[in-house]
Structure 1
Amino acid sequence: MQELEQHVGETKGLSPSMLNATKDDQNHNQYNAAMSTTNLAKNRNKDVLPMDDKRVYLVSYGKGRSDYINAVQVPSYTKFVGYITTQLPLPDTKVDFWTMIRDHSSSTIVLIINKANEADLVYSQSGDDLTIGPFGIKISARKKGENDITKITMVLSRKDDKPRQVVLFQAICNSIPDPAVVGKLADLISTRANMSNDPITVVSSDGAKNCGLFCAFTNAVSSMQIDNHADIFQLVRLLQLRRPEFFTDFEEYKRCYEALNLHLESANVYANF
């Protein structure tokens, strides 16, 4: 682990200040939708907003709503839109969240939260059927597995649409998830990602912290599998082009290396960092 940290801090020549310096200068003119009077209250963190040309658009929004949600599309290693990263819904934006899931045909959700009760902003932890706007959400199965990751299978229904199965993987962590948790989440979604072109929705408190970590790690694993090499720094930079607030916490960068190192050890794969 000491060698790994040395690699992060010296071989790449990175420091927290340098990592932040890689972010593009933000122009407020790029955030017109997010900062509009109609939408500003829909943002959990006013410092983490989607750029106009990167944001996810809602299509089938109802009366009194708009096409806005605090979410961005980001690439996986093999797909231009592999993930949708979004903030934990606010009480008033739960309907927007499920509208996005339906409109963009996302059938897999990764939910990384800090407190268990935050999950109630996405689904009913009591197992009761839930109605959010025009949507019905029914939990059909729930199972707690390794690393305290819970798998929830649910059915999303709407009057004008066929019911759809959505699978959610939930991890609760105080701040940044342990390397083993990051790796296990990636393992759980890998099969579903390979079988479908639909984007995977990744949710964290502000839609940046931990979302970027998960996406960068899964992209690094794919890079190792396809090219036998992973340049995490460059993978992170590609994500930051979509959401500059990814990896503003230097510890996330180190955690990504730790998770990849653990993955390579468990897979008995040689990596030439």
Structure 2
Amino acid sequence: MASCFRTTASPQASTLNMVTPSLRAEDCSIALLPRNHDKNRFRDVLPADRCLPFLIAMDGDSSNYINATLLDSYSQPSAFIATQHPLPTTVKDFWRLVFDYHCTAIVMLNQLDHTQFCPQYWPEEGVLRHGPIQVEFAGCFIKGDVTNRTFRVCNVTRPQDGYRTVQHFQYSGWAPRKDVPPSDVSFLQLVAAVDKWQEEYSGDGRVLIHCLNGSARTGVFCAVTNTCEMIRRQSIVDVFYSVKTLRNNKPNMVDTLSQYQFCYDIALEYVDSA
């Protein structure tokens, strides 16, 4: 389960590969339990036990595992949750994760593809129930490559908890089977929209990010977000540090040399636009 860039790497990228810790089977013992096998989309992209978010047990469902990893932002511990696009059988777990871990933003970086068992897990109108979690559609608008949906999420078995407002950012600018998006500006607009929502409306809520496997594209988003925050706070550009920090907990984050280079391109675009 070790990760390395799949192309001839630059010296810095090669160093990054060398300092990225590999995950052994014993590091992922919970994900590898027989009862959890069908909850993993890919057998070579598994969360480490030490970074797992655990779902709260509910009546009739004692399972607390989901293929997801808690990750630090530049300034806050466990500010991100990286996960795979939910399988048809794990949509209920996905929304439990959103509610249990107070996620106020969901960032979607892949396309809906039923051939890949990627269901639409949200309502376009009205209300959907996923076990005890109720998801109510509250609005939608589209700006460029980003579709913003607003949901009201609650646990009907715990009405005293109230509802949570969750913003869903679906990014359509990243085509299937492409290492990187075609536009630096478009991706930076996505990062800025999520940052604005988190800063102005969500308080200390977490950001849940997913792509097909919860690593490559998700890693790019997290690395870019952390690098931009680093620039704002300290006027430093250190993509190596951003990616290395993520890979300490999830080795598959930022999976190719072109994705690593894209993180630098975005950082330069961000500096130029400041």
* Equivalent-residue separation in structure 1 for 2:235 and 2:59 (angstroms): 47
Letter in structure 2 aligned against 1:14: Q
Query: After the TM superposition, which of the residue ranges 247-256 and 32-41 deviates more from structure 2?
Result: 247-256
- Give the aligned partner of residue 131 of structure 1: 129
Question: Offset at 1:207?
Answer: 0.7
SS at match of 1:113: coil
* Equivalent-residue separation in structure 1 for 2:112 and 2:91 (angstroms): 18
- Give the aligned partner of residue 270 of structure 1: none
1:126-185: CA deviation from partner (whole Å, max 9, x where unpaired) = 434222111221211111102x20000011122123122111111122133332232111
* Equivalent-residue separation in structure 2 for 1:26 and 1:209 (angstroms): 16
Question: Offset at 1:103?
Answer: 0.7
Aligned residues: percent identity? 25
Question: Offset at 1:119?
Answer: 7.1
SS at match of 1:222: helix
- Give the aligned partner of residue 198 of structure 1: 205
**TM-score, with length taken from structure 1:** 0.86
Residues 67 and 84, structure 2, Cα contact 8 Å, conserved in 1: yes
- Give the aligned partner of residue 6 of structure 1: none
After superposition, the CA RMSD in angstroms is: 1.9
1:14-37: CA deviation from partner (whole Å, max 9, x where unpaired) = 35x554333213211011110001
* Equivalent-residue separation in structure 2 for 1:47 and 1:163 (angstroms): 36
1:221 and 2:228 are equivalent in the alignment: yes
1:36 and 2:20 are equivalent in the alignment: no
Letter in structure 1 aligned against 2:197: R
1:122 and 2:130 are equivalent in the alignment: no
Letter in structure 1 aligned against 2:79: G
Residues 91 and 121, structure 2, Cα contact 8 Å, conserved in 1: yes
SS at match of 2:46: coil
Letter in structure 1 aligned against 2:143: G
Aligned in 2, Cα 1:119/1:150: closer, same or farther, shift over 3 Å? farther
Aligned in 2, Cα 1:250/1:150: closer, same or farther, shift over 3 Å? same
SS at match of 1:130: strand
Q: How many residues align?
A: 254
Matches within 5 A, 1:138-177: 138-146=136-144, 148-159=145-156, 160-161=158-159, 162-172=162-172, 173-174=174-175, 175=178, 176-177=180-181
1:180 and 2:178 are equivalent in the alignment: no
**TM-score, with length taken from structure 2:** 0.86
* Equivalent-residue separation in structure 2 for 1:49 and 1:62 (angstroms): 27
Gaps of 5+ in 2: 1-8
Question: Offset at 1:197?
Answer: 1.6
* Equivalent-residue separation in structure 2 for 1:110 and 1:101 (angstroms): 12
Question: Offset at 1:242?
Answer: 1.0
- Give the aligned partner of residue 208 of structure 1: 215
Residues 58 and 69, structure 1, Cα contact 8 Å, conserved in 2: yes
Question: Offset at 1:260?
Answer: 1.4
Letter in structure 2 aligned against 1:77: Y
Letter in structure 1 aligned against 2:69: V
Matches within 5 A, 1:77-88: 77-88=74-85
Gaps of 5+ in 1: 1-8, 268-273
